Amino acid sequence: MLDSDETRGQRAPDNDSLRFMSTLLAGAVVSLVFCAPGYPGGAGDAQAYLDAFATAAAAAAQWPAGSLSATYDPTEAGGLEKLAKPEAALAFVPFPFFVEHAAQLHLVPLLQANVTDVGAQQRWTLVAKKDRIRSPASLSGATVLSIAGYAPHFVRQFALAGWGLPQDVKIEQSAQVLSALRRVAAGEPVAVLLDQTQMSALASLPFAADLQNVTQSAPLPTAILAIVDARLPKARADSLRAALLAISPRGPQADALANLRLQGFVAPQLPAGAATP
């Protein structure tokens, strides 16, 4: 029977069409965006390492060759711009970035990174002038500087959860940690929030005796690999998750991990209240 004008073009796709569309989705090239605001490294410095990781991850997940690309941006604005593109299906970001932008970007955690010399979780420490800060109220009107300062929600609700920063405290991003700590030691009205790596170097500073650890966070995820805006089909997400959980620093992907300072991946363990769509 011939289609009527009303039904022509509205017929459900047949099995062959569905199989064809599934094949296209399965082989479509998607992008993995690495974004670490404030950390060292330019956008092109590590491209060869990113390419090697993308190739290794796709092969381990048994995706078609060339179906996963990777790119990096060291800035929050640049990372957001890259993640807005329709091919950006995956994001590899520090936990502060995830907290700040999960709702906006519809990020769903796929895995948690186990970072070399840090681990899958880390603590953040607030450092101030010795004997200057005796309670949260002592910070009223002051500035908290941190590499994670672009993520004030993370700073207040996770890194300093339960400590209760006064509302008039300014939170600013600073990648110049040594300069910031010198300002603290000199008595300026600032405190510095340090990640685990930065904190481990504190004792070596010549003015370390002038500094004091005020409070420390609970263990928080170091970095998150997330799906962006449901742009990755479930079958591909499942295969990638399984492959990366099995990847090992002693296996064939060892170099691809080591070049990005990774030991591997674990199942995500987000704290209660982490921003999710």
Note the pLDDT tens digit of each residue in 132-156: 998 999 999 999 999 999 999 999 9
User: Mean pLDDT, to the nearest integer, of 114-137?
Assistant: 95
Band of the pLDDT at 4, cuts 50, 70, 90?
A: very low
For residue 120, pLDDT over 70 is answered with: yes
Nearest C-alpha neighbor of 23 from the set 69, 70, 63: 63
Alpha-carbon torsion 262, 36, 98, 57, what sign?
A: negative
pTM for the whole structure = 0.87
Please report the domains of the chain, with CATH numbers, ordered by start residue: 25-119+221-266 (3.40.190.10), 124-218 (3.40.190.10)
Question: Residue 158 above 80 pLDDT?
Answer: yes
| pLDDT tens-digit map of 189-210 | 999 999 999 999 999 999 999 9
The whole-number pLDDT of residue 15 equals 47
Query: Residue 87: what pLDDT?
Result: 97
47: how many CB neighbours lie within 10 A of its CB? 13
Record the tokens describing residue 254, joined without a space: 């060892």
d(CA 210, CA 188): 12
Q: What is the mean pLDDT of residues 30-59?
A: 89
Is residue 41 very low, low, confident or very high in pLDDT (cuts 50, 70, 90)?
Answer: low
What integer pLDDT is reported at residue 276 of this predicted model? 52
**pLDDT value of residue 240:** 98
Q: Which residue, among 271, 218, 265, 269, has the nearest Cα to 56 in the 3D structure?
A: 265
Q: Is 24 exposed, middle or buried (0-12, 13-18, 19+ CB in 10 A)?
A: exposed
> Can you give the pLDDT at residue 194?
97
Q: What is each CA distance from 98 to 73, 202, 222, 224, 239, in whole angstroms? A: 15, 26, 10, 7, 23
Q: What are 201-240's pLDDT values in tens digits?
A: 999 999 999 999 999 999 999 999 999 999 999 999 999 9
Residue 17: per-residue pLDDT: 40
Question: For residue 249, what pLDDT is reported?
Answer: 86
Instruction: Indicate the pLDDT class of residue 28, thresholds 50, 70 and 90.
Output: confident
Percent of the residues in the chain that have a pLDDT greater than 90, as a whole number: 79
pLDDT at 43: 60
Per residue in 253-277, pLDDT (tens digit) is 899 999 999 999 999 999 987 855 4
- Mean confidence (pLDDT) of the chain: 89
pLDDT of residue 22: 39
Instruction: Give the mean pLDDT of 42-65.
Output: 90
- Position 172 confidence tier, pLDDT thresholds 50, 70, 90: very high
